[in-house]
Structure formats: C-alpha cells, structure tokens
Structure 1
C-alpha cells in the first residue's frame, strides 16, 4: 500500500492551494523558465463517468478553468476512458505523440501505469497523478487522504448502528482491486470496524460497477439471510444506490448503508433516509491544486516545496497534497455540500424531495 509520510505542512489546504496558484502565476520579471519546446497544451485523462458523476460534473471543468486562468495561452487536451484501461492507454499515447509536456492522469488501473510514466519521461513529459496514485515515478500526486476516508466511512456506520454495533454483521462492497484508492478505503474501513462489530460477514469487490454491486449484494442476502445483515459499507455512491435497491427488493428495512462522492442522488437518499451517509470531497481545492501544479511543471518550476506531504510508492517519495474528506449525514447536508457550494439547495430540493429538505433544514 502507498503510505503518506507527513512533513511540516505549509498551512491549511486552502492556503496551500492559493500558494500554488500564486507560484504558478509567476512574476513579470522574466524569472520563469519557459516551457520546454513551447508546447502550451496540458493533457487531462480521467477514468470514467458511469459509476461516479463527479469527473465530468466537477473535476474536468474545475481543472480546465484553473489551467486556463493561470495560463491564458494554455489549452487542455481532455479524454475520458469510460472505464477502459485499453482506451486510456491509447489516449495517453496520443498525448505523447502530440508533444504535450505535462499530463494529469487519473488512472483506470494504477497497477499498469509504470511503463506509461517511463515512456513519458523518455520524451521529457511529466505526469501528475490525480486522485489515484499512478505507479511509476510521477512528478506529483494530488488526492484526498484515502485511508482516512475509509476510516470515516467505517465510523459513520458504527455511529448509525450505535449500541447494536457489537452484535452487527456487516457486508462490505469494496471498490475495484485495480484502484489503489480502493485498497486504502478498505483498509481504513477495516481499521474503524474490526473488533467493534460482530464480524465482516461478507466482503467482495463491486469493481466500481453498480451492476456488480447488485449481484454481490444479492449473493450476500442469499448467504446470510434477511436477519443476517445489519449494515452495508459500499465504497462509493454508485454502488450504494445499487445496494439500497437490492435491499428494498429483498424486503430489508432499516439497514444502514453508506457510500462516497456526495453525488446529488446520494445526497437526496441521505435526506430521505435510504442512505445513511456519503463522503464529501471538496473537489475545488483538489482540482485547483492539480491544475496549478500542472502549470508550474509546464513552466519548468520546482514544485517539491509546495507539497504538504510525501507519499512512498515503489521506492519513490512523491511530493503530494492530500486533502481531508467530510462525512455527510442528514443533519449536515446544509452545512457541507450546500454551505460548501457543491450544490444549491434548489438543485437538491426538487418537488419530490421538498419535504425531506424542509425537515433537514436544507434551504
């Protein structure tokens, strides 16, 4: 597992993001190094848009806006792999062929990227691992503290179970085994749950696919029976939605279910009580930091002093910025995803959810 090593932090995440922005802007005294070859295009490769809506709704527009805001002459060459490792490899190769000098990469399968990064380095191209830590000697890593995310997910289930936790059987539907973040979410959740619930009675990968999560949840229900499941950990909201539907179809009620990503449908399920919690990752500071670092690298700057931590991976120590996620339960919807500007209350509170919003004080 990739392990973050803390150094002296440069202040809060917001302050660090601002520092990155200012550094990327540079001065007008000619001190900036010119980008190698004069190519002002930054590649952006995101992994999918089916299981999680965040990439198209938030990450892409925020990163693009940051890059073009800092570097008006820069362009962003964007592609989404739609969950296909083969497609992403082709997209990566195309960026190298076009002569880009920096690639922001959120890998479909982080375990296969070392040769990609090596091939990029041979052409003088720097790779920034975004959200998931790509293998290989990447120049920087921007994400959330993923093990802490899993701990928060597990603790939220414990909080929902209350005094019933010690006698609870928990089902875990984890993320894809090709995703290093999924391993860290899983490890964090186990750290919170192990020894505090009766047992993890069923645990499988849902592969970040709702249809797989449905099949696995149905297997768990068949294996454990309707009285044998007291809570379900789902690694993200797309799979949590599938779990909620499977539980409903089987006639199981009042089973706490958690997810991650604060998708708008998940926030609505939290308000109606169908989903117990989600995890809110403020995408804006993550995306802005990644865009800032990409511009800094394009301009030939050293970004190591801007990182708040180092992450050990494959014998390398990668300059990293790891942000802290936030648990969203029904009472916290207003102060988190609405107060934080992720959604407007009007976007969440359509006619179908007006009563649930009013009851939770979402306005």
Structure 2
C-alpha cells in the first residue's frame, strides 16, 4: 500500500511538471524600468500572462542594446514561444527579430516600433495623434509666441512620430508667423537632466521669451520645469508631457505643468498578452490596421490616448485606478 502511494505521488508530480512544461513561454524584453510607467507595464504583463495560463519571462536591458540582444538569445535558447519587445534601439533590434524567426518564434513590437525588418505585429498607441493632442491643446491656449520642442532620443521611433504630430498642428502657425520654434532638440535616453540643461541654457542666454514647452514625455517635461523654476517662470510657461507619471500629475495640480497624455496601459498590456498567447497557440489574429516600419506594413493595434489636465484628473487617472488619489493630492 505504501509503495502504491509513492507511485501515485510520483505520477501526480510528473503530471504536474508535464502540465507546467506544456504552458507557453512568453518572453518580454524591456528597455528600462527607470521610468515609473514601465514598472506598471511589467507588473500587469506578468499578471496577465499568468492568468492566461502561460509563463512570463521578463528581461530588462537598462538601455543597453547589445545586452537586450543577449537577453533575446538566452530566451530563445530557453524555448520561448513568442517574444514581446520594447526595443532599446529601433534599428539594432532588427537582429532580435531575425534571430527569433530563425527559431520559428514570432515577435510583437510593443509600444515602440522595430524598424526595417519583418516584425510580426505591433501594439501601441497612435503616437502621431498623441503629438497632435499635445500641440493642439497648447496652441489653442497660446496661438502665438515662442515654442520649445523637446524630442525623445532618435533611436526611439516614437520620438519621430510625436514630432510629426506636433508639426501637423504647428506648421501652419509657423508659416503664418504666429509662433516661432526657438528650441527643437532630440534628448538622449529620455534624460530629464539633459532637458533641464537645454532649457536652462536657452534662458541663460538672454532669451526671456518662452511661452510653450512640448516634451516627448513627463520625464523631459519635469526637467524643463526645474529649469523654469530657477528663472521664476513656473506657471508662466505652458508645458505638455506624456505618460501621466505621478510627479507630472502633481505638477499639473500645482499649476507647473499644463497637461500630460494618459496612455491606456491596461489595454496595451492586455492586447499584447492576448496576442502573444494566440500566437503561441497558433491561433489566427485579426487586425484591420497596418503601420509601415520601413520594410513592410506591419499588422497593428493602435489604442487611443487622452489629455489629462487639472479639470479631469479625477475622471481619468484616478477613476481608472492608474494612480491613487492620496498619492496625488496629499503631496500638494
């Protein structure tokens, strides 16, 4: 009887291990966790993939493109069924796609497009539209004046798309002579300190006229605001950011930042996770949108974003559970 129990337990353990091994493995290659919003993506992705019955394998490259390629190689060696990639470098990440396809593993480009390669799918927000929202909102408040544009890094294609959106709105005003672009610079690594230096150097050069700053994300907006404070210009210059970071929302409450853009992180994660599971299970995926990555029209899902200002904080980031009300208002 004892021997029978031991055999039964052994068979049960083997069944459990076999069941676990049959679960799809979904690799998630991330650029960085240095920005708050990426922590949310990571936590939500791991939770969603596990709830869908798969195993999430997350690796973070900390802004190092060669390291991200090494991490991809390791995950492919470990037998992942799908790779979801937030590329460190829009061009260098082509090698990840190539290596994955050599192993028969599909690749989803998440939030940022991997350029000039045969990437399988793209899940993101409409970044051109985000740029239009930022520029449209502030240009209505300040239809004339001096504008500073703080772009993200050139290796992130989202920075290019945001700039296209800005110029869709601003170019007619520039041509009319209503506004003047006094700064238009790409900032390495989405670095707040570099954004601070750019604005500080401009204001230090006897350039008192600055009416609007449009920044590629809230990190850059925060750096710009620090410079404005040094010159006693806070609340006097309109500032737009993106990502609805906690500090940005606090700045909006304080009146130092005008708007940010709230991206539907839950929906982005859910879309990517469900798509990855379908790919792992060889199930069809239907998309009605394509985005040109320089090599092909990539089947895509583009989600909508919304402006957050002082008036709708409660109705957006608070009501949807993205940020806690006490964290926002107790600090001000």
Q: Separation in 2 of the partners of 1:315 and 1:85?
A: 21
Matches within 5 A, 1:110-189: 110-135=90-115, 136-161=117-142, 165-166=143-144, 168-189=145-166
- By relative contact order (CA 8 Å, sep 6+), the higher-ranking structure is 1
Report what 1:53 is aligned to: 36
1:277 aligns with one of 259, 265, 269? 259
1:231 aligns with 2:212: yes
Q: Aligned ranges for residues 1-363 of structure 1 at < 5 Å?
A: 38=22, 40-50=24-34, 52-56=35-39, 58-71=40-53, 74-135=54-115, 136-161=117-142, 165-166=143-144, 168-196=145-173, 197-207=178-188, 208-223=190-205, 225-226=207-208, 228-253=209-234, 254-303=236-285, 305=286, 307-350=287-330, 352-353=331-332
User: What 5-or-longer segments of structure 1 have no aligned partner?
Assistant: 1-36, 354-363
User: What is the DSSP-based 3-state SS (H/G/I as helix, E as strand, rest coil) of the residue aligned with 2:112?
Assistant: coil
Counterpart-to-counterpart distance in 2, 1:173 and 1:145: 19
Residue 38 (structure 1) shift = 4.9
Alignment partner of 2:302: what SS?
strand
Q: Distance in 1 between matches of 2:24 and 2:172?
A: 53
Q: Which moved more, 1:284-293 or 1:91-100?
A: 91-100
Structure 1 outlier segments of 4+, above 3 Å = none
Task: Name stretches of at least 5 consecutive residues in structure 2 with no aligned partner.
Answer: 1-20
SS at match of 1:331: coil
Retained in 2: the 8 A contact 1:308–1:322? no
RMSD of aligned alpha carbons:
1.5
C-alpha displacement of 1:69: 1.1
- Cα gap change, 1:308/1:285 in structure 2, threshold over 3 Å: closer, same or farther? farther
How far is the alpha carbon of 1:224 from its aligned partner? 5.8
- Residues matched between the structures, number: 305
Q: Separation in 2 of the partners of 1:314 and 1:198? A: 32
The alpha-carbon deviation at position 348 of structure 1 amounts to 1.6
What are the superposed Cα offsets for residues 153-186 of structure 1, whole Å, 9 maximum, x if unpaired?
111211332xxx22x0101111110011110001
SS class of match (1:252)? coil
Bigger CA radius of gyration: 2
Question: TM-score by structure 2 length?
Answer: 0.88
**1:344 Cα offset (Å):** 2.6
Q: Distance in 2 between matches of 1:65 and 1:49?
A: 17
